[in-house]
């Protein structure tokens, strides 16, 4: 167990991006002991926001040097795994399990850290398509690996639209060490709060005209959308409803902003979101000492790849409830 501090719990922040996990977990009273992120521009933002640069490539980190911690948080990349040859290796007495199935992937490194440090809890986030990625093989290996590491595993697809005015479905994985919790913990994923801001609430009153689409780009997007409508599919731009929610902000938003456009009247092309509006759409409070310190292109990529802190905060609160509760005894079966 980690050395206790004045914080209510300790955590590490892996594949940290710009620190969406950290924003949420620090708000809950957690203390970050270690962070890692390989992208140099995300590292710039992280350092500006938290006063420390995260370690670089997780493959170059000495696992023994990572401090013990209560909670491991990670928005790990999605990579395919190979399941071929496991049964053959088993028959030959060779190593198998997660070390075979995940070898050479970033999830393998994550599993190594979990195995070595044994955090009481883990919280992982990924795109919804993780479940169908590589014909379901990736999801099967992720879940089987965590269970092989002796963790209770809970998963849920949650739409952040319950917390921010954006349709954003992600899969969340919460896990609890069975050595610490011999009986299955009383954990449930949270439901959304009773209200959330409308999309119009995140918009600036007088955005810079440079965010207005050029006449040429606007014509191209309309032509592209019409071509696909004629084929019977829904590809094309999206004009956001100020009273509703937007489409998902993606890392490609910097290219043309097509998925989330703001109308500006019939005679003027629509505009894309400003980086500050993207931050608010994701639930980041950039007015509270977290300024944008990179180019617009990098800011769009960073916010499009980020986690929604308000969702992480809601899940984190449920995890903390388990961590602070007496462990349930192990039972051989459940009476029905």
CA nearest neighbour of 33 among 77, 65, 81: 65
Q: Is 32 a catalytic residue?
A: no
Evaluated on CA atoms 51, 252, 139, 79, the torsion sign reads negative
Partner residues linked to 239 by β-bridges: 261
CA distances from 269 to 201, 213, 247, 261 (A): 21, 6, 19, 10
Cβ 120 vs Cβ 73: under 8 Å: no
Cβ 189 vs Cβ 172: under 8 Å: yes
Which one from 48, 78, 83, 225 is the annotated catalytic residue? 78
For residue 12, the surrounding DSSP H or E stretch is: strand 9-14
**260 CB-side CA count, 13 A:** 28
Distance between CA 73 and CA 307 in Å, rounded? 11
Distance between CA 138 and CA 130 in Å, rounded? 7
Distance between CA 166 and CA 279 in Å, rounded? 12
Residues assigned a catalytic role:
78
């Amino acid at each position: 167990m980690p050395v206790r501090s004045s914080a209510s719990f300790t955590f590490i922040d892996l594949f940290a991006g710009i620190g969406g996990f950290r924003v949420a977990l620090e708000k809950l009273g957690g203390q970050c002991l270690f962070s890692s992120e390989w992208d140099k521009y995300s590292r710039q933002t992280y350092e500006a926001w938290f006063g420390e640069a995260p370690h670089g490539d997780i493959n170059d980190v000495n696992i023994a040097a990572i401090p013990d911690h209560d909670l491991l948080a990670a928005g790990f990349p999605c990579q395919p795994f190979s399941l071929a040859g496991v049964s053959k290796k088993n028959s030959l007495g060779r190593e198998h399990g997660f070390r075979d199935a995940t070898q050479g992937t970033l999830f393998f490194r994550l599993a190594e850290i979990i195995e070595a440090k044994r955090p009481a809890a883990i919280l992982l986030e990924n795109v919804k398509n993780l479940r169908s990625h590589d014909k379901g093989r990736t999801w099967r290996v992720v879940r089987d690996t965590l269970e092989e590491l002796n963790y209770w595993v809970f998963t849920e697809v949650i739409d952040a639209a319950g917390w921010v005015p954006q349709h954003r479905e992600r899969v969340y994985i919460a896990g609890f060490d069975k050595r610490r919790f011999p009986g299955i913990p009383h954990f449930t994923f949270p439901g959304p709060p009773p209200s959330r801001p409308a999309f119009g609430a995140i918009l600036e009153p007088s955005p810079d005209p440079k965010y207005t689409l050029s006449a040429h780009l606007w014509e191209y997007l309309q032509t592209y959308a019409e071509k696909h409508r004629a084929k019977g599919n829904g590809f094309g731009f999206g004009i956001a409803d100020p009273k509703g929610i937007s489409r998902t902000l993606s890392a490609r938003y910097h290219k043309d902003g097509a998925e989330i456009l703001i109308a500006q009247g019939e005679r003027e092309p629509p505009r894309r979101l400003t980086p500050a509006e993207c931050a608010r759409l994701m639930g980041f409070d950039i007015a509270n000492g977290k300024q944008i310190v990179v180019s617009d292109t990098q800011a769009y990529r960073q916010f499009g790849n980020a986690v929604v802190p308000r969702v992480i905060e809601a899940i984190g609160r449920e995890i903390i409830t388990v961590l602070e509760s007496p462990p349930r005894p192990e039972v051989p079966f459940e009476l029905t």
